[in-house]
Amino acid sequence: MILRSLQRALRRTGLKSLAFIPLVLGLTFLTTPSSALAACCTLKSGGSPNATSIASLYNIIFYIAIIVFLVVTGFIVYSVWAFRASKHPVAAQIHGNTKLELGLTAGAAGILVILATVTFIKLPGIINPPDSNASTASVLSASLTAPNPPNGNKLTICVTGRQFIWRYTYGAGCNKSAWADKLPYSYQEMVVPAGETVDLIIQSSDVIHSWWVPALGGKVDAVPGFTTYTWFQAEHANELYHGQCAQLCGRQHAFMTALVKVVTPQQYKSWLKQQGTLINEQNDQVTELRQELIKQGYLTSSGVF
């Protein structure tokens, strides 16, 4: 039904109107405010240098793709209209056009070379973490795992995905001796100091999840039995970044959100201390409760009722 009315409309107006499609698309693209364009088609960035590099690389490829799309679509629509059957009932028989074919091949190869060159220029900024700011040196902890900023100063946080929440453990050794070292931890909201290169050691305790806070860099899968890594360096304090598990991980996947709260190095230090104290207090309470339950015969020392 829709197809038939479309065909009728096309017959009435003539195929000429189709020629305006790429023109209209091009004009719409050029006249759309950059903020609206950013909201619809470009990546979030600005929170961390790697996110900025990813977004600028994406933009370059995106704009080149738009130009290629408009040129190809325009050429197809023009050809359909200019060589329509009513005007050219007998099709011309062509045996190739060497110049055109060489030009198209060279043009396509040229675009690929440009994209590859830009990608290789941008990649180091995405993969290699920069130095932490000198002012944050007091809150640093070291880890032997990659990636490493040139001066080695970084904050290590283990990100553990589990259905359906993220757990963050703060400090070097968080993937090996978190319990023995009684490292502080938090759930869902990660707290980090501004200006500090943060290394994330990403793991999963059940199914595949994916760590993704768009404004702070690319997404990285959390795979059971494997450890993956990424990094970010939040530039401004008093910011809150939103993220979302980017791998369908079960019924409550949509609720597996993440928050990254950026504070000053001083605020981070006091938060970490307070978090440690709160966890110890809670642990003491649980130990007391357990001892009481054992005393009253509700629980055995092995924890079995």
What single letter denotes the amino acid at residue 159? Answer: V
Phi, psi of 57 (to 5 degrees): -65, -45
What is the distance between the alpha carbons of residues 208 and 161, in angstroms, rounded to a whole number? 8
| 209 makes contact with Cu ion (CB under 5 A) | yes
CB under 5 A: which stretch of 3-11, 142-150, 205-213, 267-275 binds Cu ion?
Answer: 205-213
What is the distance between the alpha carbons of residues 6 and 167, in angstroms, rounded to a whole number? 54
Using the minimum distance from each CB to Cu ion, give the nearer residue, 256 or 262: 256
DSSP letter at 174? T
**Structure-block tokens of residue 150:** 């040139």
What is the distance between the alpha carbons of residues 97 and 163, in angstroms, rounded to a whole number? 59
Q: How far is the CB of 48 from Cu ion (least distance, A)?
A: 22
Strand partners of residue 222: 209
Of residues 241-270, those binding Cu ion (CB under 5 A) = 245, 249, 256
Using the minimum distance from each CB to Cu ion, give the nearer residue, 221 or 239: 221
Number of chain residues interacting with Cu ion (CB under 5 A):
4
Q: Does residue 216 sit in helix, strand or coil? A: helix
Q: How far is the CB of 199 from Cu ion (least distance, A)?
A: 21
Element (H, E) at 186: strand 185-187
Using the minimum distance from each CB to Cu ion, give the nearer residue, 155 or 245: 245
Using the minimum distance from each CB to Cu ion, give the nearer residue, 209 or 261: 209
What is the distance between the alpha carbons of residues 156 and 296, in angstroms, rounded to a whole number? 43
CB under 5 A: which stretch of 40-48, 102-110, 201-209, 211-219 binds Cu ion?
Answer: 201-209
Q: How far is the CB of 203 from Cu ion (least distance, A)?
A: 13
Q: How far is the CB of 247 from Cu ion (least distance, A)?
A: 6
Q: Residues in the site for Cu ion, rule: CB under 5 A?
A: 209, 245, 249, 256
